[in-house]
């Protein structure tokens, strides 16, 4: 079993404190690209990525994340925003994605399926959940580059929106801290498999 | 950039039709293990995986998934269930996870943070979204094994629950079809990067 596992899945862990060593811009770009290539429901890719590497914004983000040590210490943060407003059926954004996804085939069926799926009161939570596909890609990509990472779901959403000057209709889904870890991979603790 | 990417991220795609070739039980086990090792908010791992490989259940699942070709043709399906009822703060399940996650440290802080986070009316959508971490791991693990995959978010939730005899308090989050693909990797279509 162990031998069959993707090495990055075996090696990834949540780093609780980062060293101050910088992350190269090439590595950051590869992490973003990994997120960009993630799958998403209806092919809607309802996300936007914001890189935070400058000191004042990192400090403001650390505060918005309640001073959690990984955010305080990491040299680079990537905030994943869920696009909500643009997910309205028939929006320019949705039309453009479906045209692309259809690869030249008729798009009526996917528009109808999405119209049946869409509910204004649940779409935000759905979009936030979709961002976890991009996040998982980024975490494994960072591992592939020899970087440590820590996903952070606990933050003051309104404060993050202010710090990053988010447009209306976008909400912060997840903040990921990247860098070099100050500790080694801890023992992995998981509930046992139930299938 | 391309050279820096995790090869499995570059190679993964949504297979639209599978060959009838079987998937070995060892490969299926490795896919489940990859899902098990995924990160989750508060370390709650709010998921359960069900493997569907027998013909009658696969047929019933295909119907519950509106006859979508990947589900009809795949030799193996993995359904990811979101655990909802057991996520109530103070449940035995939550207590057990937090005890493990705390690694012997006091658990009061995480219980307090979770209590502040938990809302009965939003926890189901949150748990469903968490399952995408496990799903992304499974999709990349399948690619690592030379298998194709297709995540399916569109299904009749109540019908899936009946077919798989889900306990109350669990809801289907995602169905993933696995197997050998009847077509090659299509051109990748993504919106351009915006950071």
SS (H, E, C) chain A: CHHHCCHHHHHCCECCCECCCCCCHHHHHHHHHHHHCCCCHHHCCCEEEEEECCHHHHHHHHHHCCCCHHHHHCCEEEEEEEECHHHCCCCHHHHHHHHHHHCCCCCHHHHHHHHHHCCCCCHHHHHHHHHHHHHHHHHHHHHHCCCEEEEECCCCHHHHHHHCCCCCCEEEEEEEEEECECCCCCCCCCCCCCC
Say if residue A1's pLDDT is above 80: no
Residues of A in contact with B99 (CB under 8 A): none
Rounded mean pLDDT, A6-18 = 98
Say if residue A195's pLDDT is above 50: no
Q: Is B173 helix (H, G, I), strand (E, B) or coil?
A: strand
Q: pTM of this prediction?
A: 0.97
Residues of B in contact with A136 (CB under 8 A): 38-39, 132-133, 136-137
CB contact under 8 Å between A140 and B140, yes or no, is: yes
CA distance A176 to chain B (A): 12
Per-residue model confidence (pLDDT) at position B145:
98
Chain B CA closest to residue A15: B39
What is the ipTM score, two decimals? 0.96
- Which of B51, B189, B194 is the closest to A100 by Cβ? B189
CA distance A158 to A137: 26
Residue A141 structure tokens: 């990509």
Hey, what's the torsion of the CAs at B32, B34, B36, B38, to 10 degrees? -150
CA distance A166 to A160: 8
Per-residue model confidence (pLDDT) at position A188:
86
Q: Quick one: which H or E segment has residue B10? A: helix B7-11
Rounded mean pLDDT, A23-38 = 98
Per-residue model confidence (pLDDT) at position A129:
98
- Which of B37, B113, B140 is the closest to A154 by Cβ? B113
Say if residue A58's pLDDT is above 90: yes
Residue B26 structure tokens: 């060892």
CB contact under 8 Å between B129 and A128, yes or no, is: yes
The greatest distance separating any two alpha carbons of chain A, rounded to the nearest whole angstrom, comes to 53
| Grouped pLDDT means (10 residues each) for chain B, 195 residues | 92 97 98 98 97 97 97 98 96 95 85 94 97 98 98 97 97 98 91 69
pLDDT exceeding 90 applies to what percent of chain A? 90
Question: What's the mean per-residue pLDDT of chain A?
Answer: 95
């Amino acid at each position: 079993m162990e031998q069959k596992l993707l090495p990055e899945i075996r090696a990834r862990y949540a780093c609780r404190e980062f060293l101050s060593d910088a992350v190269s811009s090439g590595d950051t770009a590869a992490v973003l690209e990994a997120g960009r290539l993630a799958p998403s429901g209806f092919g809607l890719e309802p996300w936007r990525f914001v890189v935070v590497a400058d000191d004042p914004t990192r400090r403001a983000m650390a505060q918005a994340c309640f001073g959690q040590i990984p955010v305080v210490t990491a040299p680079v943060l990537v905030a994943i925003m869920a696009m909500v407003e643009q997910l309205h059926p028939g929006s320019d954004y949705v039309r453009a994605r479906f045209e692309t996804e259809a690869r030249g085939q008729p798009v009526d069926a996917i528009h109808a399926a999405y119209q049946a799926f869409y509910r204004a009161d649940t779409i935000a939570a759905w979009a936030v959940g979709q961002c976890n596909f991009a996040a998982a890609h980024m975490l494994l990509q960072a591992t592939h580059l020899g970087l440590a990472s820590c996903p952070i779901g606990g933050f003051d959403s309104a404060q993050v929106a202010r710090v990053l000057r988010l447009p209306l209709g976008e909400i912060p889904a997840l903040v990921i801290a990247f860098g070099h870890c100050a500790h080694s991979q801890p023992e992995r603790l998981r509930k046992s498999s139930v299938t």
